[in-house]
Chains A and B, each alone.
Chain A
Amino acid sequence: MYRYDQFDAAFVAARVEQFRDQVGRRLTGELTEEQFRPHRLMNGLYLQLHAYMLRVAVPYGTLNSNQLRKLAEIARKYDRGYGHFTTRQNLQYNWPKLQDTPDILAELASVEMHAIQTSGNCIRNVTADHFAGAAADEIADPRPYCEILRQWSSQHPEFSFLPRKFKIAVNGGPHDRAAIQAHDIGLQVVRDARGDLGFAVYVGGGLGRSPFVAKKIRDFLPERDLMRYVDAILRVYNLEGRRDNKYKARIKILVHEKGEAAFRDAVEAEYAANAQSALSLQEADIAAIRAFFTPPPLEPRETTSARIERRRAKDAKFDAFMRANVVAHKISGYAVLTVSLKPIGAIPGDASADQMDAVADLAEDYSQDELRVSHEQNLILPHVALDDIPVVYDRLASVGLATPNAGQISDIIACPGLDYCALATARSIPVAQRIAERFGDGARARDIGPLKIKISGCINACGHHHVGHIGILGLERAGEETYQITLGGSGDETASIGQITGPGFSSERVVEAIDTIVETYRAQRADASEQFLQTFRRVGMAPFKEALYERSAGSDI
Chain B
Amino acid sequence: MQEMITANRLPDGIVVFLDAQGGWTEDFHRGAILEEAAVRANALAQAAAAVEANLVVDPYPIELELRAGHLAPKALRERIRATGPTVRTDLGKQVEGFAPTVAQRG
B32 within 8 A of A: no
Quick one: which of B51, B80, B86 contacts A33, CB cutoff 8 A?
B51
Q: A97 touching B12 by the CB < 8 A rule?
A: yes
Chain B residues within an 8 Å CB radius of A48: 13
Distance (whole angstroms) from the CB of B93 to the closest CB of chain A: 8
* Partner-contacting stretch, out of A248-256, A387-395, A425-433, A444-452: A425-433
CA A48 – CA B14 in complex, angstroms? 10
Chain A residues within an 8 Å CB radius of B80: 49, 418-419
Q: B58 touching A47 by the CB < 8 A rule?
A: yes
Chain A residues within an 8 Å CB radius of B51: 33
CA A433 – CA B85 in complex, angstroms? 14
- 1/0 per position for B64-104, CB-CB distance to A under 8 A? 00000000001111001100111110011000000000000
Chain B residues within an 8 Å CB radius of A418: 76-77, 80
Q: A52 touching B12 by the CB < 8 A rule?
A: yes
Quick one: which of B13, B53, B76 contacts A47, CB cutoff 8 A?
B13
B54 within 8 A of A: yes
Chain B residue with Cβ nearest A46: B13
B47 within 8 A of A: no
Q: B12 touching A29 by the CB < 8 A rule?
A: no
A397 within 8 A of B: no
Chain B residue with Cβ nearest A419: B85
B15 within 8 A of A: yes
Within 8 A of B (CB), among A50-77: 50-52
Chain B residues within an 8 Å CB radius of A80: 91
CA A433 – CA B88 in complex, angstroms? 12
Chain B residue with Cβ nearest A80: B91
Quick one: which of B74, B86, B106 contacts A419, CB cutoff 8 A?
B86
Q: A50 touching B15 by the CB < 8 A rule?
A: yes
Task: Evaluate whether A420 and B10 lie within 8 angstroms (CB atoms) in the complex, with A28-B54, A33-B57 already known.
Answer: no
Q: B53 touching A29 by the CB < 8 A rule?
A: yes
Distance (whole angstroms) from the CB of A391 to the closest CB of chain B: 31
CA A455 – CA B78 in complex, angstroms? 22
28 A/B residue pairs, CB under 8 Å, sorted by A: A26-B54, A28-B54, A29-B53, A33-B51, A47-B13, A47-B58, A50-B13, A50-B14, A50-B81, A50-B84, A51-B15, A80-B91, A97-B11, A97-B13, A98-B11, A98-B12, A347-B88, A418-B77, A418-B80, A419-B86, A419-B87, A419-B88, A420-B85, A424-B77, A430-B86, A433-B87, A479-B74, A507-B106
Q: A98 touching B13 by the CB < 8 A rule?
A: yes
> A interface vs B, CB < 8 Å?
26-29, 33, 47-52, 80, 95-99, 347, 418-420, 424, 427, 429-430, 433, 476, 479, 481, 507
Chain B residue with Cβ nearest A424: B77
Q: A427 touching B86 by the CB < 8 A rule?
A: yes
Task: Evaluate whether A99 and B11 lie within 8 angstroms (CB atoms) in the complex, with A418-B76, A429-B87, A481-B76 already known.
Answer: yes
CA A348 – CA B54 in complex, angstroms? 36
CA A33 – CA B53 in complex, angstroms? 11
Q: A33 touching B87 by the CB < 8 A rule?
A: no
Chain B residues within an 8 Å CB radius of A429: 87
Sample of 10 further A-B pairs with CB below 8 A, known A29-B54, A418-B77? A26-B54, A47-B8, A49-B77, A49-B80, A50-B85, A97-B13, A347-B87, A427-B86, A430-B87, A479-B74
CA A48 – CA B81 in complex, angstroms? 10
Chain A residue with Cβ nearest B85: A419
Within 8 A of A (CB), among B1-38: 8, 10-15
CA A29 – CA B88 in complex, angstroms? 34
Within 8 A of A (CB), among B30-61: 51, 53-54, 57-58
Task: Evaluate whether A49 and B75 lie within 8 angstroms (CB atoms) in the complex, with A33-B51, A97-B13 already known.
Answer: no
Chain B residue with Cβ nearest A23: B11
CA A347 – CA B91 in complex, angstroms? 14
Quick one: which of A29, A33, A347 contacts B58, CB cutoff 8 A?
A33
CA A417 – CA B92 in complex, angstroms? 16
Chain B residues within an 8 Å CB radius of A347: 87-88
The 9 closest A-B pairs by CB, nearest first: A52-B13, A51-B13, A97-B12, A29-B54, A419-B85, A429-B87, A99-B11, A33-B57, A49-B81
Q: B57 touching A99 by the CB < 8 A rule?
A: no
Chain A residues within an 8 Å CB radius of B91: 80, 95
CA A50 – CA B95 in complex, angstroms? 14
Distance (whole angstroms) from the CB of A320 to the closest CB of chain B: 26
Chain A residue with Cβ nearest B11: A99
CA A424 – CA B81 in complex, angstroms? 12
Distance (whole angstroms) from the CB of A382 to the closest CB of chain B: 30
CA A29 – CA B51 in complex, angstroms? 10
